[in-house]
Structure 1
Amino acid sequence: MSLPQPVPPSWKDLGKSSTDLLQKDYHFLSNSLEVKTKTPNGVTFKVAGNQPSHSSVIAGDVEAKFVNKKQGLTFTGTWTTANVLKAQAEVENQIANGLKVELLSTLSPAKGNAKTLVINGAYKQSGIHSRAALDVLKGPTFTADTVFGRDGFLVGAEAAYNVTEGRVSRYALAAGFSAPEYAVTLHALNDLKSFTASYYHRVSADVEAGAKAVYDPKLSANGVAIEVGTKTYLDSAAFVKAKINNSGVLALGYTQSLRPGLKASFGVAVDTQKLNEVNPTGAAHKVGMNFVFEA
């Protein structure tokens, strides 16, 4: 008798270990600040501000999130500096075990109209993770994806259907293998016209490594774009990250927990092919930082 299979990751989380290693905690594109607080009755507030390195404009938002675990209900409301209101309501494990239904909407008060209205559904059980989404205002477009998993092997597919035009507007396939120490994922995207391969390896308790290769005829004029990176924990409160791509851009990141509830991150990106270039606009080299306060 075979053992019960774990729930596989969703389609969007295939290759997540490698993606997080190569993308997260590199704060060289902007300077940002986050402040998070939580009330005794479970309401979480978050205020975030972000200033891109190439702009003097600061974008921000205020978010309130309420979670009722007993009823399986989560409600999130956000107001941005672009005067856009966002609302998200989730109900999980109430209609059926393993089923989550979600409603997302954005509204522009200045224009008095809804910008987006999306209904999502996700169902996960042993060995299967399926999702479906209906974008009411765009198309409408119906998107569905499913990932099957068994003994570490993963196979998934995604397709989007334009209801108005009556045609499949996008489809993709993926396959991979996931183990506690390493993971390999292959994607065939954009109607099987572009391809991505990613690899993640936990070398030891303190060291992680990963790589990603992308072939897209529209974006990779020189062939395949390759990026490799690593993460090393200095101690329980600090880690450093480094990555480089085949275009010669080297990125470094450093994150330090200064005290409980206070975390600082710093990042720098250097174009190694333009080390002697003086560029006041910051196009060749970038520096940024991020601070998170949480109470």
Structure 2
Amino acid sequence: MSLPQPVPPSWKDLGKSSSDLLTKDYHYQGASLEVKTNAPNNVAFKVGGTRDSKSDLITGDVEAKWADKKHGLTFTQTWTTANILRNQIELDNQIAKGLKIDLATSLAPEKGTKTAVFNSAFKQSGFHTRASLDVFKGPTFTADAVLGRDGFLVGAEAAYNVTEGNITRYAAAVGYNAPEYSVTLHGLNNLNTFSASYYHRVNRDVEAGAKAVYDTKSTHGGVALEVGTKTYLDPSAFIKAKINNKGVIALGYTQGLRPGVKASFGLALDTQKLNQVDPVGASHKVGVNFVFES
């Protein structure tokens, strides 16, 4: 008798280990600050702000999240400096075991634009599927599913325009997840773009990964390649480094200063334009991020 299969990752999380390794904790686009606090009545507040080093534009948002874990209910409300109001209501594991539904809306009063998206996710042993309906865009119905067995993963996604009655987007993926490494192959954008990602936990302190992307409709042609690594210096600090085939090197350093306080520093260098001394120009970038959490 075969053993029960674990729940596979969702479609959006296929290749997540490699993606996180190559994209997260590289704060070189400017200065950003994030403050997180929790109130006694189960309300979590998060205030974030970013100053872009290239445009000097400052953006931010205020988020409040209330959760009733006993009844699986979560309500999140966000207000941004662009005067956009976002609301999300989630209900998890109440209608059926493994089923999560939510409604996400947004409103821009000045422009009069609004969105409303119904989402659902259902996961069981060896199976994970999601569906969403964008009410005002199309409306468009999107569904995806991932099957997993003994580490092997197969997934597909499709978007259907209800008004026009045709499939507007489809994609497929295969992969393999092991405790120390994972490999994922994607066929995206109606199978016009192909990507391959690899992640390897070398040991407790070192991780490595790579990603290659080939777009059949790209005017430049060729494969975009990126490789990176992450090394823990101690339990409260780590460094990250990556390089792509365009010669751009990115470095990231994150340090826990004390419980609830974290600082991250980032640097990006275009090795083909090292003579450019402007640190906030188009080629070389620096940035910093601070997170305060109570």
Compute the TM-score of the two structures, normalised by the length of structure 2.
0.98
Residue of structure 1 in register with 2:163 after alignment: 164
Q: Does 1:192 align with 2:191?
A: yes
| Structure 1 partner of 2:201 | 202
Matched residues in 1 for 2:178 and 2:33: separation?
35
Q: Measure how far apart 1:108 and its partner are.
A: 1.4
Q: 1:61 maps to which residue? A: 61
Asked if structure 1 preserves the Cα contact closer than 8 Å seen for 2:192 and 2:217, the reply is no
1:33 aligned onto 2:33: yes
Contact 1:49 1:58 in 2 (8 A): yes
| 1:93 equivalent in structure 2 | 93
2:79 maps to 79
1:135-284 mapped onto 2 (5 Å cutoff): 135-219=134-218, 221-279=220-278, 282-284=281-283
Q: How many Å separate the matches in 1 of 2:8 and 2:219?
A: 31
- Quote the offset at 1:219 in angstroms: 4.3
CA contact (8 A) 1:154 1:176 kept: yes
**Letter of the 1:155 counterpart:** V
Task: Supply the AA of the counterpart residue of 1:18.
Answer: S
1:114 deviates by 4.6
In structure 2, the partner of 1:70 is: 70
Matches within 5 A, 1:3-22: 3-22=3-22
Structure 2 counterpart of 1:283, which letter? A
> SS in structure 2 opposite 1:70?
helix
Offset of 1:155 from its aligned partner? 0.2
Q: Can you list the C-alpha shifts for 1:164-201, whole angstroms capped at 9, x where unaligned?
A: 11000000000000011000000001111110000000
Classify the secondary structure of the residue corresponding to 2:146.
strand
Instruction: Show structure 1 runs of 5+ residues with no match.
Output: none
Deviation at 1:41, TM superposition (A): 1.8
2:103 maps to a residue whose letter is: L
Matches within 5 A, 1:107-126: 107-111=107-111, 113-126=112-125
**Equivalent residue for 2:51?**
51
Identity value in percent: 71
Give CA-to-partner distance per residue, 1:183-230, whole Å, 9 cap, x none.
Answer: 000000111111000000000000000000000134471400000000
* SS of the residue 2:239 aligns to: strand
Q: Distance in 2 between matches of 1:13 and 1:245?
A: 22
State the alpha-carbon separation in 1 of the partners of residues 219 and 72 from structure 2: 44
CA gap 1:20/1:280 in 2 versus in 1, 3 angstroms: closer
The DSSP-based 3-state class of the residue aligned with 2:71 is coil
Task: Determine the C-alpha separation between the residues in 2 that align with 1:136 and 1:218.
Answer: 30
The separation in 1 between residues aligned to 2:279 and 2:93, in whole angstroms, is 53
Please give the alpha-carbon distance, in whole angstroms, between the structure 1 residues aligned to 2:219 and 2:121: 34
Asked if structure 1 preserves the Cα contact closer than 8 Å seen for 2:279 and 2:286, the reply is no
1:110 CA drift (Å): 2.4
Equivalent in the alignment of 1:103: 103
Q: Tell me by how many angstroms 1:154 deviates.
A: 0.2
Q: Which amino acid aligns with 1:106?
A: S
- Counterpart Cα distance in 2 of 1:135 and 1:35: 31
**How far apart are 1:261 and its partner, in Å?**
0.3
Equivalent AA in structure 1 for residue 123 of structure 2 = K
Distance 2:135 2:83 in 1: 22
Query: What count of residue pairs does the alignment treat as equivalent?
Result: 294
Tell whether the 8 Å contact from 2:180 to 2:202 is kept in structure 1 after alignment.
Answer: yes
Q: Distance in 1 between matches of 2:264 and 2:218?
A: 30
TM-superposed deviation, 1:281: 5.2
* Partners of 1:105 and 1:114 within 8 A in 2: no
Q: CA 1:156 to 1:77, structure 2 compared with 1: closer, same or farther past 3 Å?
A: same
Q: How far does residue 280 in structure 1 lie from its aligned partner after superposition?
A: 6.6
The Cα shift of 1:29 comes to: 1.4
Q: For the aligned residues, what is the CA RMSD?
A: 1.1
